[in-house]
Amino acid sequence: MVPTEIKLMADKRSIDVYLKLLESGSEKKRDIRLVVVGKKGAGKTSLVRRLFGEDIKDVTSTNGIEIHKIKCKAMSDDGIWNKLDENYEETQTHARLFKEYMGKLQDKRTIKEPVEAHTAIKDNNPAISLNESEKSETVSKQPDIIKPPKAEPPVTPQQSNQSSEQAARDFETMLTAKSKVDVHDKEEYATFLLWDFAGDEEFYHTHQTFLSQDAMYLVVTKLNEADDPNAQALFRLWIDSIHCYSRLEEGNISSDKTTLCDNDPPVVIVGTWKDAVTSETDSKNIEIACRENLLKYTNELADDERGHLRCEYFISNKDDECIAFQQIRQNILNLARGMRTWNIDYPLKFIQLEQRLQEKKKDLPIISYQKIKNYSTDIPEPLSEEELILFLEFHHELRALVYFKDLSEYIILDTQWLSDAFRCIVTAQKFRINIRNQKEWNDFFQRGKLNNAVLEDIFKNETTILYEHKDFILKVMEKFDIIIHPNKSEDIDASPCYYVPCMIKEECPCDIYQMFNVPEDTRHRSTWLCFKFRFLPPHLKNHLIASLSRRYSIAQVCISNQKKMQIAIFHNIVVFELQKTKLRKLLVTTCPNAIQIQVLEFGKGIERGLFKDIADFVEMELKKIIHTRFNMSNVKFEKKWECGHTKPEFVTGINEFDGEQMTEYYYCETCKLTHKFMDEWSDLQRKSLCLPHCSNDAEQSNPHLETPSKKQRISTKVRCFFQGDMRAFSNVTDESTRTSSLNGLTKEEMNFAKMGMIVLNILADVLYDLLRSDKPHLPPRSDCDITYLYKELRRLNKDIPSNRWGGTWQNILVTDIAIGDDIERIRLIRNDLQHSRTFTLDDKRFNELYIIIVDLVKRFDLHNKPTKLYTEQLKVIMAKTVSEEEVKRINHQLINKLKLEMTMDIEIEQE
C-alpha cells in the first residue's frame, strides 16, 4: 500500500525531486553474466533447466546461443532463481527508480533541501566510465570514476519546457507502475544473464564475440568420456579461450583476492553424466572415480590457467536431487559477490535511456547510432555524448547490447538476435533442411565458401529486419574474422564471395608441392619459419589468415577432379600469392602449437634477407592480434626455423635463431646433408665491414671474398659500436644493397623513389615546421633529417602520442589523430623505407602509405600553416616522372641518412 503523502506529491515539487534524483543519484548494480560452455552432448541445456528447477523432458540441443535472465536474492542467498520474462525489464526499471524516489522522499531532508548526491556522484558526473585506452572491442575495462564531462551548450527555455513535460509524463508512468512494486521489500537482488552456448564445433569461432572479462563461466564436461582425446581437447579449448580472450589484465585484478593464485574470470567445472561413471563398490568410490576422470581433463592445463578454477561439481542431470543444484546456485552467487562488477555505482539518469531502448527493442533488435543519440537527448535529464558512450560501453561489457566503436553506425539492442544472425551463417548442418542450391551448400559445408547464392538462401528465409541489415551483420562477422573476404575470388568474372575459416573441412587433396609443381631444389623452398606457442590460442590461425588475405591474394590452383580453378585454402593449409607474376608464393600451415610459413620461389632463387619484410609482417600481425585486439598478455611465442625440405606435416621448428650460427653450415637431419643457412627471414648475420687499403681495389670492398695474398697477414677482429651517420662508410656501401641494374625501372622501383621523395622532403618539412614553433634557433633545414627532428620533438615531449613514443604500426589506430600520433606515423614510414633492402615498394603498400600521408598532411596544413601547402607539394611529386638517376639518388640519400647503432667487425691487419 502506497502511503497517502506519496499520492499528494505528484506536483511540480515532486517532479523537481524526481529530476534532482535523476541528475545526481546512483544505485548499486549487481548484474552478472554467467556463461555455460562445453562439448556437444555434455548436458549443458539440461543443467540450465535443473538450475531453474525445470523438467528436463524433451530437451533439444542449443542452436547458437540462448540467453536467459534470472533474479535472485543478493544477500539472504536462499538458493532460489526466478527466471524472468521479457516483460520484467520494463517493470524492473520503474521499480528501481521508484524505490530510490521513495527513499529520498521519506528522508526529511528531501523536503527542506535538494536531494543530496551519493558519495560516488560529484559535479553531475556519472559514477562509471570505461577506460578509453582499451583498444580491444571484444573485451573492455572495469568502469572507473571519470573526468568531468565537457561543458554542454546552455539549455534554451524551450528545451527546458520540453524536458519538464517529458519528466512529468515519465513521473506519471512511474507512479502508474507503482502497484507492481513492493516498496516494503528491502531485499537486495542480483540479476544473472545466463548464456547457454551451443556445443557444436561450428559455433566455437562465433563465441569469442560474446566472451568478456566480467563474466563467470560454467565449463561442462562429460565424466564418462575422460579417456577420449577429442573430449579432452575440447575441454582445453574452452579453458584456453576463457584464459586468452577474457583474462583480466594485471592492473585490473582486485587486491583483496582470497588467494594470490586466483585469476579472473572465475571458472566452475561441472562434470556431468556421473550416473555413467562405473565403480565396483559404493557411492564414495563413485566420487573418487569422478575426480580421477576430471584430473584427466585438467592434466595438461598450465598453472596460470588453473588459477581460474574455483570449484568443481559432479552431477547427474537425471538422478540427482534438487539440493545438488541448489548448492551450485549458492556457490555461484558467493563467487559473484567477489567480482569487481558487484555493487558498482550506476547513475540513475542512465535508467531513462534504458527505458526508451526497452520500448524500441520490442520492435527493433538493431538501431542506428543517430537514433539512440536522439533518444539520449530527448529525456528529462539528457546525456552528453560522452555519457552516451559510457552507457553503451558499460552495457556492451554485460552484452545487454552490442556496440563497437569502429562499427558504431548501428547498435544491436537484442544480443540474442545477433547470435541468431551468426547462427544462420555459421551453423551446424543438422539445423539446415530443405536446402536449395545444393552444390553451393556443399561447397559451404566442405570448403567454407560462402557465395551470394548461399547468402541469399540464408537471409531470405529469415526475418525482414535481418535481411535489411545483412551488410552490417557481415561487417561484424568480418571484424572478428568469423568470415574473410579474399582479395581474389576463384573466377575473375564471378561475384565476390566470403570464406568461413571455421567451416573449412576440406583437406589438401595431394602433396602441396606437387599441386603447385614446386622444384625440389633448395633454392626454391625457403627454410620454414615457425612461430611456436606453449599453446596456440583458439582461432588465432583464422585471425592471421584473415590478416594475410587482406594483404595478399590467395593463390588459385586447378584440382585434378574439377574443371574450375579454386583458391588454395584448405583445413590447415593456405597458399598466398606474393607477386603478380605468381613467381613467389607464401605457404601457411598450422599444427596444434605452432604456425609455420614458407616461401616458394619460382624465379631466380632465394637470397639472404629476401623475406624479412614477410616475416616482420606476420610477426607484427600476430602481436597485434594477441596484444592489441584481444589483450592476451599471457600468450607468448618464439621463432624457430627448420629445413625447407621438411614436409609441412612433419615440421617441428627444432632450430634456434642463434646469432653464432648465422653464417655457418649446418647438418640437416631431414635431408641427411649439409646446408648453408641462408637467413632469408631475418638477415641477422654479422656484417664484417673492412676499410679498404685502396679505394680502387674492388675485391677488398667485399670482406667475404677470398683472394690470394702476397704477404702474410695477422688479423684481429675488434667489436666497435657507432652511434651516428653512415656517411663515413658510404664509399664502401655504395649501392651494395642493389641486386639489379638500373637499365629500365620497374613500377615497384618508381613507387619506392616517389615515397622516398615524400619522406625526405615533405614529411621532414612537416616535422621541421612543427619543431620550429617551439625551438626557434634550429639548424638549417638542410642539416635536419627526420631522425634528428623526431628525437628533438620526443625530447620536447609536448605532443605526446595517444599510446607511447617509439611504438609500432599496430599501436596506432585509425582514430588516433593527435599530433604525436602523426609524428609516430612519419617515423614509421621513414623506417619502412630506410630498412628496406630491395628499394622497391609494391602498389598495395604504396597505396596504404599514400592514404596515411594524405590524411596526415591535411592535418598539418591546418596546424603548421606552411607557405606552400604540403598537400600541393604532394600532388607535384605524385605527378612527377621519375628518372633512373633520381632513383639512384633517393636510394643513396636514404642509406646515408640512416642513423643507428651499428655493431661492426673491423679487421686490423698487420704485415
Binding-site residue ranges: 38-45, 62
The Cα–Cα gap between 815 and 855 comes to 12
Backbone angles phi, psi at 310, to 5 degrees: -105, -45
Residue 523 carries which side chain, given as an amino acid letter?
A: R
Residue numbers belonging to the annotated binding site for GTP:
38-45
With left for phi above 0 and alpha for psi between -120 and 50, is residue 269 left, alpha or beta? beta
Q: By three-state DSSP, how is residue 190 classified?
A: strand
**DSSP for 355-385, written as a single string:** HHHHHHHTT-SEEEHHHHHHHHHSSSSPPPH
Residues belonging to the chain:
911
Helix-strand-coil split of the chain, %, nearest 5? 45, 15, 40
**What DSSP element (H or E) covers 660?**
none
- Using CA atoms in the order 870, 871, 875, 877, what is the torsion angle rounded to 10 degrees? 30
Residue 304 contacts by C-beta under 8 Å, 6 or more apart in sequence? Answer: 243, 263, 634
Residue 697 contacts by C-beta under 8 Å, 6 or more apart in sequence? Answer: none
Q: At what angle do helices 870-879 and 843-864 cross, to 10 degrees?
A: 150
C-alpha pair distances (Å), 683 with each of 225, 595, 609, 615: 49, 21, 4, 11
Residue 349 carries which side chain, given as an amino acid letter?
A: K
Cell of 521: 631444389
What is the SS3 assignment for 672-693?
A: CEEEECCCCCCCCCCCECCCCC
The Cα–Cα gap between 601 and 581 comes to 11
Of 482, 355, 372, 354, nearest in space to 418 by CA: 482
**What DSSP element (H or E) covers 302?**
none
Of 105, 139, 100, nearest in space to 121 by CA: 100
Residue 80 carries which side chain, given as an amino acid letter?
A: I
**What DSSP element (H or E) covers 607?**
none
The Cα–Cα gap between 202 and 219 comes to 18
The Cα–Cα gap between 788 and 726 comes to 14
C-alpha pair distances (Å), 90 with each of 180, 354, 429: 11, 9, 38
**DSSP for 193-208, written as a single string:** EEEEE---GGGHHHHG
Give the pairing type, strands 215-222 and 267-272: parallel
Cβ(897)–Cβ(760) below 8 Å = yes
The Cα–Cα gap between 270 and 42 comes to 10
Cell of 544: 592471421
Give the pairing type, strands 31-38 and 189-197: parallel
Sign of CA dihedral 118, 124, 128, 131: negative
Number of alpha helices (DSSP H) and beta strands (DSSP E) in the chain: 30, 26
Residue 748 carries which side chain, given as an amino acid letter?
A: E
Of 599, 486, 618, 603, nearest in space to 553 by CA: 486
Residue numbers belonging to the annotated binding site for Mg(2+):
45, 62
